[in-house]
Structure formats: C-alpha cells, structure tokens
A and B are shown apart, each in its own frame.
Chain A
Amino acid sequence: MAEKTYAGVTINVDEEGYMTDSSQWTKEVAAEIAKEEGIEELTDTHYAVLEFIRQKVSEGATLTIRAIGKSGHTDIKGFYKLFPGAPLKKATKIAGVPKPSSCV
C-alpha cells in the first residue's frame, strides 16, 4: 500500500492511486486528485455525481455508466464531458472509492 498527500492530508492509496480508505475523502482532496486527472475545476455537477457514486458504493451497489446516466445529475453524454476519456475510472478515483471491478 502507498501513501499520497492531497490538500495537506496523507491518504492511503493502492498501486493505481485509488483511495483505500473512503472515509479520508474530502472535497478538497477530490479537487486535487481531479487536477492530477486533468480536470482543472470541479463544479457543483461534478460534486453531485461524486456524492452519488460514494452513496451507491456505500450501499454495496455495482456501479455502471448506465446507472450514473440515470442518476438525475447528468446523462451519459454529460458524464463523458464531466470526466473525459474513461469517466467511470476517473470519477471513482476522484470520489475516493475503489476502482469498479466490472463483473468478470
């Protein structure tokens, strides 16, 4: 296990940079991870999606892009614009939850 410092706080992360202790997450930590992922500023919509992801994960749900598109915060196209490239991987990293393991 590795450690990284975001917003002056030491955070436990795995080898791919995903937080391993979700309770260490704060909005400030999220903003700094987002910068590393190439997202300069997190808007209210970004945060709404991040909160949705955190809530779903805490309920033990399997995250899919489809589910986020139906969350009411954004649609799938919007989700891609918010977190360009690989939205689910980026958004989960910024939300401080484990990398989604698409069911094998």
Chain B
Amino acid sequence: MKKLVILGAGTGGTIMANRMRKELDRDEWDITIVDKYKNHYYQPGFLFIPFGMYKKRDVIKPKADFIPYGVNLIYGEIDRVDGEKNQVLLQDGVILNYDFLIIATGVKIFPDETPGIKGKLWHKKVFDYYTIEGSSALGDFFKTWEGGDLVLNIAENPIKCPVAPLEFVMFADAFFVERGMRDKVNIKFVTPMSGAFTKPRASKVLGGLLKEKNIEIVPDFYIEKVDNENQKIVSYDEQEVHFDCLVTIPVHKGDPMIGRSGLGDDMDFALTDKYTLRSDKFENIFILGDAANIPTSKAGSVVHFASEIVFENLMCAIENRPLTGKFDGHSNCYIETGFGKGALIDFNYDTEPLPGHFPFPGIGPFGLLKETRMNHYGKLLFRWMYWHILLKGKEMPISAHMTMAGKKLHDI
C-alpha cells in the first residue's frame, strides 16, 4: 500500500484530501491528513465579526465534515518531518511513513514578536482580528466604544490577505458613520509599506479611496514596540502614533514545525519552487498555500488556484512523468470598501492588478479595481461557495491561470 500524507486540514489540505481521494485507487493508496485543531475556520469571515456582520457560527464548522470517506483524519501536533526517512513524527510519538507528502500548514500570527502587544492592554484596547478570539473581543469592545484614535498597524509583511487591513479601515469608517459618531473617531492606517498597497496602480486607487473616506495613511512605519502606559506605538526610527484603540496585524510566520524539519527560511516558510510548488529540499514533498515562501498573496484564492497545480504535479510525480504544472501566482481578491460596495483585483507574479471587467471582458459582472455593489455581493456569495464547492475540491468557474482578457493596461 502506498501512502500519501497531508499536513494541515485547512483550505489547502482539505481541497487536496478531496481531490486525491477521488483520483487515487483505494486499493493502492492510503491517504492520511493531520491537523491539531478540530474546527475549520472560514478566515475571511474574521474581518466581518468586529462589525457585527457575521457571528461565530458563520465562520466555524467541524473539520471532519469536509474530509471525505476513505481518508484517515488524525488530530495531533506535528513534531517534524524527516525528509531523509520519508517520515512524519507526531509529538505523541506516532510515526507516519509516506511516499508523497503535502505540507499545507498555513501561517499564524505571533504577537509575542513585538514587545508590548501582549501587554496589559491586550484584548482591552489592543486587539488582533486574525483569530476568532481577537475578532470577537474587538466586536465586544466596539459595542460600547465612545471614540478616539483608532489605529490599525501592520507589523511586518507578509501577512494573510494583504487587502484585509484596508478593508478593516473602510469597514470601520462605514460602521462609525452609520452609528453617527464618525466625527469622534480618527482612523489611521499605519504601515511599513510606502503606501496603501505594494502594487503601484492598486496602491494609487486604494490610497485614493482611503483619502476620500478621511482615513490617514502613515507610511514607512516599522513598529518596534507598543507603549502600554502612554497608549502609543513606537517605530524603530522613533516615530510615535497615539491610540485609544489599536488593531494590530502582528508578525506572521509559518508553522515552527517547518523550521524544526529544516525545510524553511528564517520565518518558517517552506522553501518552495514558485512554479512547480515542489519543496526545494525533497522531490516527494509539495507545499501548498500560505506555508510556502513563494511571492504571492497568502490567501484562500491563491491556495485554490495553487491546488490545481499541486494536483497536476503530484500526479506527474506519482506516475514518474516530468512535472507539467506551472503556477503563475494567480490571485483574485474581493476588497470590501464599506457601504455595501466592494472592489476586485486579479493579478499574478508578473501582472499587477489592472482595471477592467471580470470574468467576462466588457461585461463583468464584476468590475476590476473599482467600487461596485456587485463586487460586494461577490464577496458575500463567496462564503457559500467556500463551504460548498471550494473545500470539496469541485470545479470553480475561474481558471487557475490568470488571463489578460477584460483587463485594461492604460487608463488610470
């Protein structure tokens, strides 16, 4: 019996468990998936919780519901991967042998990397919203907050879903307008980047939107610490920003297991060929999603597109053929801009987000790099598609490879 082991039962691992179980003969292949948590979180939904738009039950479902019959699901902590011996060692002493391994352990926040984040104001005036605990605590805080300096700070790149911080401040703008207290809330977007976004055209459009909404951008701010006494964040070059409520996007790193296994870089992201998605270290290991060190967004849409490439290349490797799948870094993100509108960006390794229509040229229904109501509905619809289509590895109506059709090169 040959063995395929998948580490991580999040978006990527679950998609692969479903696809591979359908593809590989049960008499020949044993498939095992390992995760330490029993709940599957719809992470894009965390953004909506502080504003009371989603409740916990909208974003949490049992992982087991999405793992198909015929796949062994093990709840356990991974100690490390021994690539030389083709073994995964779990912390409780269990050893899993594999012929092929998929690592999809994702990325997590590490608030302890920045002194003071977890100080006495943690979950009182300092919040994250990248965990269910953080986003729920912030939701409770907002219910009775009377206003002041609302500061969003990104500690370090890369982060999960790079547009989420922009969405957060635009949601906050709409939320406090609707509560009739926007004049009491001073919203600041404090970022280590030199603008709202890294890619030039999108940065210009999104930066313009923030300005229209009276949200101040504080660029080139690389946080050193949070001063809990004086309610300030302080940068390495001694800039200071005062807060009455700090929403931090803490440092993100891969799973420490990747570091312990010698498979990663200094942030525990697995060293990965950005086209084939195979580990740089071992030919029978593939890396899917946020766990990889490839230069693209850490986001579910990327995981979904990349899963098609991992599937193709894993089948090539199993059948001793050259790898034919080539990932282009395709990313597709809905951006909530508040007041029932949204924007959409679609890009890859080589092409920055451009204006136009998506997916059908000239028609849409979605507009690229502009605010429309339809884009907002697209994002809401996506939650349903996530639970019912995407996780189960069924066909989505969007190609894994980006297309230039519908995109305009010159009109901003």
Contacts and interface: CB of A to CB of B under 8 A. Distances in A.
- Mutual binders A and B: yes
Interface of A: 61-62, 64-67, 70, 76-77, 79-80, 84-86, 89, 101-104
A57 B199 CA distance: 20
B293 A62 contact: yes
Interface string B89-109: 000000000000000000000
B296 A103 contact: yes
Nearest to B297: A104
Nearest to B274: A60
B199 A104 contact: yes
B330 interface: no
A79 B267 CA distance: 19
The residue among A76, A79, A103, A104 with the most chain B CB atoms within 10 A of its own CB is: A104
A85 B236 CA distance: 10
Contact of A65 (B198, B199, B222): B222
16 contacts: A62-B265, A62-B269, A62-B293, A70-B266, A76-B222, A76-B236, A77-B236, A80-B237, A85-B237, A102-B198, A103-B157, A103-B158, A103-B297, A104-B198, A104-B296, A104-B347
B209 interface: no
A102 B267 CA distance: 14
Contact of A86 (B156, B194, B267, B347): B194
Given A64-B267, A101-B198, 12 more contacts: A61-B265, A62-B269, A65-B156, A65-B236, A66-B251, A67-B266, A70-B266, A77-B236, A85-B237, A86-B220, A102-B157, A104-B198
A27 B266 CA distance: 28
B154 to A, nearest CB: 10
B331 interface: yes
Contacts of A103: 157-158, 162, 198, 295-298
Interface of B: 156-158, 162, 192-194, 197-199, 220, 222, 224, 236-237, 251, 265-267, 269, 293, 295-298, 331, 347
Contacts of A101: 198, 295
A104 B197 contact: yes
B236 A64 contact: no
- 3 A-B pairs with least C-beta separation: A103-B158, A102-B157, A80-B237
Contacts, number: 59
B218 to A, nearest CB: 13
A104 B351 CA distance: 12
A61 to B, nearest CB: 6
Contacts of B224: 76-77
The residue among B192, B194, B222 with the most chain A CB atoms within 10 A of its own CB is: B222
A84 B237 contact: yes
B346 to A, nearest CB: 12
A102 B193 contact: yes
Nearest to B352: A104
A37 to B, nearest CB: 14
Contacts of B194: 86, 89
A85 to B, nearest CB: 7
A97 B278 CA distance: 26
A19 to B, nearest CB: 19
Contacts of A102: 157-158, 192-193, 198
Nearest to B203: A104
A101 B347 CA distance: 14
A86 B237 CA distance: 10
A36 B362 CA distance: 46
Contacts of A84: 237
A89 B195 CA distance: 13
A101 B224 CA distance: 21
The residue among B162, B194, B266 with the most chain A CB atoms within 10 A of its own CB is: B266
Contact of A64 (B157, B296, B298): B157
A80 B236 contact: yes
A61 B162 CA distance: 20
A5 B340 CA distance: 53
Nearest to A89: B194
B329 to A, nearest CB: 9
Contacts of B267: 64, 66-67
Nearest to B251: A66
Contacts of A61: 265
Contacts of B251: 66
A80 B224 CA distance: 12
B279 to A, nearest CB: 14
Contacts of B236: 65, 76-77, 79-80
Nearest to B237: A80
A22 to B, nearest CB: 17
B237 to A, nearest CB: 5
Contacts of B220: 85-86
